[in-house]
Amino acid sequence: MEGARIEQVILRRADLRLPFTTDFAERLEGQTVQAVNRRAKYLVVELSSGDRLVMHLGMSGWFNVLHGTRGRTDTVRGAAVATPDDREPGVFDKHDHVIFEMSTGALVVFNDPRRFGFMKILTPAELAADPALSVLGPEPLARSFSAAGLAQSLARRKTSLKVALLDQATVAGLGNIYACEALHVAKLSPKRRASSVATSTAQPRPEAVALAEAIRVVLKDAIANRHRAGGEDRFRVYDHEGERCPRRTCGGTIRRIVQGRRSTFYCPLCQR
């Protein structure tokens, strides 16, 4: 999409998690995509108008890009559907909810069976004040992410370490699975008090240094494994309740507890 103009936007339903505004397609059509960025789990598309198209995949959303096609509009079940010239009308899946027809001829199709994803258009001022985006913490793979910053964020937190990590103001985009994985790599119990990784003056203890590095390691490894294993992640502890701890020198058994209404998997023997 980057560098291309959005020729047409076709909405095959009135909403996803959020309803589309009545001017949604109008504000996008004719605009050139200047950049496609990511902030935590949000995709932020910069448009030539100055607006930002903010998108979230939810739990089941994904994009399918059809290259080298010229779209035409057909009607399927009362909704306009862009269909490549070399295909029959109605080739799109019933969960293909949004179609962007680009000036390059590519069709960018958003598919979301569970419809937990969303799309909204914000001005720069609205983006800066957005209640979800404006409070995000540092990116875990950015150079600005450090043990010192992590310690400062956690120094006064009375909640458990695992729950604190799921707060997007602590680390942007770190989800439940990789919080579990990082805590295991760092040998830290998810039940320990979040502030215990910092000194009384909010300086990083060795635990904060180990945790910051573990977060980077598990995320980089996850990205590499998705490319290498066709999308199959190989988790250390997540969803391995009752199995032996993967740390060779441990011999403990993975347990599952619930924290903040989310499942936590950890080894009570080596995670302290």
Alpha carbons 88 and 85: distance in angstroms, whole number:
8
Residue 53 lies in a domain: yes
CATH number, domain containing residue 29: 3.20.190.10
Q: How many domains in the chain?
A: 2
Give the alpha-carbon dihedral of 79, 69, 8, 41, to 10 degrees.
90
pLDDT digits (tens, 9 = 90+) for 24-55: 999 999 999 999 999 999 999 999 999 999 99
Residue 139 lies in a domain: no
The predicted model scores a pTM of 0.79
Q: Could you tell me if 121 and 227 lie in one domain?
A: no
Which residues span the domain enclosing 125?
6-129
Which residues lie below 8 Å from residue 101, measured CB to CB, with a gap of 6+? 6, 7, 8, 9, 10, 71, 82, 107
Average pLDDT over residues 20-24: 97
The yes-or-no verdict on residue 185 having pLDDT over 80 is: yes
Q: Could you tell me if 175 and 235 lie in one domain?
A: yes
Secondary structure (3-state) at 196: helix
Residue 137 lies in a domain: no
Average pLDDT over residues 249-272: 97
Residue 101 lies in a domain: yes
Q: Could you tell me if 83 and 111 lie in one domain?
A: yes
